[in-house]
Amino acid sequence: GQGPANPVNQLGFKAVAKHTLDKVVVPEGYSAQIIYALGDPLTPQAPAFRNDGTDTAFDQRAGDHHDGIEWFGLDAQGKPSTAAALRGLLAMNHEATTDEKLTSFFIHADGGKASLPRPAAEVDKELMIHGLSVVEVQSDGKRWSYKPASAFNRRITTMTEAEIHGPARGSEHLVTKYDASATKARGTLNNCGSGKTPWGTYVSGEENWFGYFFRDAKDDAARKKDKQVQALIRYGRKAGAASRHGWESAGPQDQYVRWNNSAIGASAKEDYRNEMNTFGYVVELDPYDSKAALRKRTALGRMGHENITFARVSAGQPVVAYMGDDARGEYIYKFVSDAKWDPADANAANRLAAGDKYLNKGTLFAARFKDDGTGEWLELSMKNPVIANSSYFEFKSDADIAIFTRLAADAVGATKMDRPEWGGVNPRNGEVYITLTNNSNRTVATADAANPRVYTDAKAGKEQKGNVNGHIIRLAEKQPQEATFRWDIYLFASEAGADRGKVNLSNLTDDNDLSSPDGLVFSQATGLCWIQTDDGAYTDVTNCMLLAAMPGRVGDGGAKTLSYGDKQVKTYVGKEQSAATFKRFLVGPKGAEITGITETPDGRALFINIQHPGENTKMANVTDPSKYESQWPANAGYGNGKRPRSATIVITRNDGGVIGT
Name the phi and psi angles at 347, rounded to 5.
-120, 35
570, β-bridge pairs: 561
Q: Which is nearer to Ca ion, 206 or 219 (CB)?
A: 206
Find the shortest distance in angstroms from Cβ 466 to Ca ion.
15
Q: Which of 207, 248, 599, 629 touches ligand FEO (CB under 6 A)? A: 207
Give the number of C-alpha atoms closer than 13 A to the C-alpha of residue 236, restricted to the C-beta side: 23
Per-residue contact flags (x/-) with Ca ion for residues 422 to 451, judged by CB under 5 A:
---------------x--------------
206 binds Ca ion (CB under 5 A): no
Strand order in the sheet with 191-196: 184-186, 161-165, 294-297, 282-285, 202-206, 191-196
**Residues 375-394 close enough to bind ligand FEO by CB under 6 A:** none
> How many residues line the site for Ca ion (CB under 5 A)?
4
> Rounded to whole angstroms, how far apart are CA atoms 519 and 502?
25
Task: Classify the C-alpha dihedral 387-393-396-401 as positive or negative.
Answer: negative
What is the spatial distance between Cα 420 and Cα 398, in angstroms, rounded to a whole number?
24
The residue within the footprint of Ca ion, chosen from 40, 126, 431, 534 (CB under 5 A), is: 534
Residue 306 contacts ligand FEO per CB under 6 A? yes
∠ at Cα 541 (536, 543), nearest 5°?
60
What is the smallest separation between the CB atom of 497 and ligand FEO, expressed in angstroms? 27
Q: How far is the CB of 613 from ligand FEO (least distance, A)?
A: 16
Contacted by 408, from Ca ion, ligand FEO, none: CB < 5 to 8 Å by type: none
Which residues lie across from 623 on neighbouring strands?
none
Residue 207 binding target from ligand FEO, Ca ion, none, CB below 5 to 8 Å by type: ligand FEO
Report, in Å, the least distance between residue 128 CB and Ca ion: 19
Contact with ligand FEO (CB under 6 A): which of 59, 421, 513, 535? 421
Residue in 518, 599, 615, 629 binding Ca ion, rule: CB under 5 A: 518
Cβ atoms of residues 612 and 93 within 8 Å:
no
Number of residues that bind ligand FEO (CB under 6 A): 6
Residue 207: CB minimum distance to ligand FEO, A: 5
326 binds ligand FEO (CB under 6 A): yes
647 forms bridges with which residues in the sheet?
37, 610
Which residues, in sequence order, are CB contacts of 413 under 8 Å at separation 6+?
Answer: 368, 378
**Nearer CB in complex with Ca ion: 437/504:** 437
Q: Are 582 and 546 in contact (CB under 8 A)?
A: no
Residue environment code for 502-515, b if the CB has 16+ CB neighbours within 10 A, otherwise e: bbbbbebeebbbbb
Q: Give CA separation, 509 vs 111, 464, 535, in Å.
A: 41, 20, 18
Between residue 586 and residue 615, which ones bind Ca ion under the rule CB under 5 A?
none
Q: Which is nearer to Ca ion, 153 or 208 (CB)?
A: 208
CB contact at 8 A, 649 and 608 = yes
Given the complex with ligand FEO, which of 511 and 535 has the nearer CB atom?
Answer: 535
Name which of ligand FEO, Ca ion, none residue 488 binds, using a CB cut-off of 5 to 8 Å depending on partner kind: none
In terms of CB distance, is 208 or 337 closer to ligand FEO?
Answer: 208
**Contacts of Ca ion in 386-425 (CB under 5 A):** 421
Selected binder of ligand FEO within 22, 40, 95, 286 (CB under 6 A): 95
Cα–Cα distance list, 475 to 346, 431, 538, 541 (Å): 26, 6, 28, 32
- The identity of residue 76, as a single letter, is A
Which residues of this chain interact with ligand FEO, rule CB under 6 A?
95, 192, 207, 306, 326, 421
Which residues of this chain interact with Ca ion, rule CB under 5 A?
421, 437, 518, 534
